[in-house]
Structure 1
């Protein structure tokens, strides 16, 4: 599997296309479906019913969590899934990081390279892979530079590996 295969798999996924269409209706600025749902689709993993669908956007003009919850309610009324909508213009305070400059900047600072992925339709299908496709192709769970072993955030990466039970999946390689 290469970058072209990854993009084709995501473009041809009917459920993902439906999700993109529904999120597009919110008319959010700089929005992306990201993280685990995409990784699962690329690797043909079954999405667990308790897995959320991560939507990130960037809007410095409205930093209220209530707005995010309202977006989640709308999305849930359109498609019965566990939606998680986060405005990255405010999330740096939660994550104790310097302010993000965009939703893409925030995605690039997710814990794992195979979580740092996004797709959008603004106006056409766009795939964002800040760390490339290699780890997806090789099924490697590796920390992004923000979560490397010599950083204070590395413990978060290690905890996620354990919580998500990635070490139990024989098809994955963990690079701690």
Structure 2
């Protein structure tokens, strides 16, 4: 489980994401400790390692999980007053956060799902620009939440795959 949030400079809306991560794809680049979500990291919330110096095209490994055993479930929330259609659009945009943090994402073996909620506490000032910004913020927060969850995970007895901390310290 990982979470992340941000306050938008335009409008002051808060956006947050909570993710339960068990994806088929990798959250780190190749076999190293660097997170795909590094461009959206705030401070050193998941190690501050940045991106690696090089990328090796085609280096991604094949699936390590069986069908029906992998998914990333998330919820994005805001205090902006959104209609049901706008909240659905924010959830759709938040899926981009999965693609920013998990490679490959949305595979045939994943059951990815993002929900969106709004408290409705803050009216939209601009019905076009505000939802646009909220969608981007939801994607960035979800990418961060995924990396934070993996970074903070601790090994448990019976784990099939090692936790990030067990492999790379931190």
TM-score range, shorter chain: under 0.3
Return the TM-score normalized by structure 1: 0.27
Q: Which has the higher contact order (CA 8 A, sep 6+)?
A: 2
Query: In proportion to residue count, which structure has more strand?
Result: 2
